Structure 1
Amino acid sequence: MNLYAIQSIYRFEMERTWRTIIQSIASPVISTSLYFVVFGSAIGGRMAQIDGVSYGAFIVPGLIMLSVLTESISNASFGIYMPKWSGTIYELLSAPVSPLETVIGYVGAAASKSVILGVIILATARVFVPFEIVHPFWMIGFLVLTSVTFCLFGFIIGVWADGWEKMQIVPMMIVTPLTFLGGSFYSIDMLPPLWRQITLFNPVVYLVSGFRWSFYGISDVGVGLSLGMTFVFMLACLAAITWIFRTGYRLKV
């Protein structure tokens, strides 16, 4: 294992974050804060509690997950796409750096950014609404697992994309709508039976539900099922990345 190579990629990606801190950190934190102001304070005060939790506190896990999912994909896809776009990825592929070390460096840096962002948003949420974390260790575990999984997914998108527009299609047209429809702002138990069954095909439901359980001990689906679905998606992403490096798909051509 070439730890020096991993460290070099990791440090380069993290330093790029600090150079663009307004775009990488400040912008998503401000956007999420507006959600807390509108939904948590303005609307939440006029809504009844959900499963014994105030509405403002209820949406905290969902809003954190919304930011983490979108930023994980964006950070990881941009991290690998930029070397492709500038041509430096050929230098990386010709250097004594294995595919595993490459993925660890890029995905590790992107996941670190997402975890930092999630923690900052969590601290910011305390300014707007009071809440408690019943299972703090599980909360950290879900946050890290989700960040790593969707950074792997973002890495795949960055390799697949052959233009800036394609990098934005999946986060904006697929992931964000699925997150809004995945119980971020409501419990799926509030839906009619038919729509509740349809919603269960949305993979984001399991992420939001498991993360919310770590806060308040309540969930729309079983915690074990949430973990299982996340691990399955992560394994699928790992399999896709293995195939990409084995075939050189859009890396060497």
Structure 2
Amino acid sequence: MLVNLGGPNKIITYHGCATQLYIFLWLGATECVLLVVMAVDRYVAVCHPLRYTTVMHPKVCVQLAVLAWSAGLIQSLIQSSATLRLPFCSHRVVDDIVCEVPALIQLSSADTTYNEVQMSIASVILLVLPLVIILSSYAAIVKSVLKIKSTAGQKKAFGTCTSHLLVVSLFYGTVTGVYLQPKTHYAREWGKFLTLFYTVITPTLNPLIYTLRNKESVDTCPILKCTGYEICADVP
């Protein structure tokens, strides 16, 4: 995609487009599951800090990581295969910056009802349902943090979730606009910008967001668990 964006030749081979589609869906679906796992991880860390090592055991973390990558791969194999079976004989221009399902469905002259239904079901499973779980986790976190009497304790507890919540907002705020928006000309044009955002801008910002640390909380907070962020002792 970056080669096509930077060079004068905007051509991609069929096999190149297929490879891009498989990898794109695999990584995208995996991230959807991983963001849910991270939300649950923060819920346990903030709401049940003394049980964290028992619930989020290293073996469980490995199993959750395998689940995320496996779910992403299965989703990619199913949806990519169904999309690539469509005929693209008379249309060869992908009206997007990347070979993804909505753009390729528009190219086919055949009946795409099955593909659209499949995409809708996948969107509910990988976008709507995970987002509901994430929001529910943060609702419980907020309820728990508000019970903390000290303002400093509240800030430290909220600080453990800031980076993840920011990534969730950037990712889901754009990808849902592409896969759940109505199929109109205006939506397709706006969708190109959203696609650029969650395929290029958001992944570029992720390393910067996840490395943000609050030095004060690192230095002064009694750490209960070491999971890449700090949990303070005054969290209930």
More helix by share: 1
**TM-score, normalization by structure 2:** 0.35
Larger Rg: 2
